[in-house]
Amino acid sequence: MVAARPILYSFRRCPYAMRARLAIKVSGVAVDLREVVLRDKPEAMLEASPKGTVPVLVLENQVIDESLDVMLWALGQGDPEGWLAPDKGDMLGLIAACDGPFKHHLDRFKYATRYEDADPLEHRAGAEVLLRALEGRLAQNRWLFGQEASLADYAILPFIRQFAAAAKGWWEAAPYPHVRGWLDGFTGSDFFRSIMKKYPQWQAGEPGIPFP
Ligand SMILES: N[C@@H](CCC(=O)N[C@@H](CS)C(=O)NCC(=O)O)C(=O)O
């Protein structure tokens, strides 16, 4: 019997879902993508993962509902571009600085009105701690961990994209030219475009969309 393709619940604009799609795409694994609307989550997704966040990858006997774990699973199936070649602990450390403090400040900068007493400028300054670290690395090398792209680049880029979009104007003149170049290379790439296609909301009973 042919094994069913894994199901990926995804939301186009979610940076966590983007990083999952990037790793799935590079790995060569084929999945059925189910586009989710966050205010109307499918029952089948909530049954698989009650915490209700995307991405969720449903395998035959396992559910993976953390984006970084989806990336690691996909790269475990195939890693033709060597995204896992740099030291894993170092990469996970930098990704944790993105997912933790940077994301905290990004949310409070971008959606200041949703948080009581959030001062956007204070949170923009908080986010710059990671930007400075990335700038230092990218001034030395084309990618965060050397001359080739890695897990860390593609895990972090979708969040820097979100931050840059929220800080437009300021971003263009900010003292992070290497981060800007790195981000522009990403957003202008066919690779990025290929994971940003628009799909209609998945409806129960429909097949998913073959991805990539
Ligand atoms: N730690 C999770 C976070 C995923 C997450 O928060 N995704 C957001 C969308 S970008 C979400 O699904 N939020 C639930 C909601 O808005 O209802 C991961 O890495 O997968």
CATH code at 122? 1.20.1050.10
Q: Residue of the nearest CA to atom 8 in ligand 1?
A: 53
Instruction: Tell me the two tokens of residue 210.
Output: 């073959």
Query: Average pLDDT, whole number, for the chain?
Result: 96
- Ligand 1 pocket member 66 (CB < 6 A): yes
Q: Which atom of ligand 1 is nearest to the CA of 53?
A: 12
Residue 2 has a pLDDT of 60
Task: Domain of residue 67: give its range.
Answer: 7-81+195-211
Residue 54, ligand 1, Cβ within 6 A = yes
Cβ of residue 9 lying under 6 Å from some atom of ligand 1: no
CA 9, CA 35: separation in Å to the nearest integer? 6
What is the CATH number for 16? 3.40.30.10
Residues forming a β-bridge with 57? 8, 64
- Residue 2 covered by a domain: no
Whether residue 155 has its Cβ less than 6 Å from ligand 1 = no
* Residue 1 maps to a domain: no
Check residue 113 and give its pLDDT: 83
Within 8 A by CB and 6+ apart from 37, the residues are 11, 201
State the total domains in the chain: 2
Distance CA 3, CA 178 (A): 44
% of the chain surpassing 70 pLDDT: 99
Domain assignment of residue 177, yes or no: yes
Rounded to two decimals, the pTM is 0.97
35-81: pLDDT as tens digits? 999 999 999 999 999 999 999 999 999 999 999 999 999 999 999 99
Q: What pLDDT digit, counting tens, does each position of 109-120 carry?
A: 998 788 888 899
> Which of 53, 65, 151, 162 to probe ligand 1 with, by most ligand atoms within 8 A of CB?
53
Taking the CA of residue 39 as reference, the ligand 1 atom at the shortest distance is: 17
| 97 and 158 together in one domain | yes
Dihedral, CA atoms, 131, 68, 157, 28, nearest 10 degrees? 150
Q: Are strands 63-64 and 31-35 parallel, antiparallel or unpaired?
A: unpaired
Q: Is residue 62 part of a domain?
A: yes
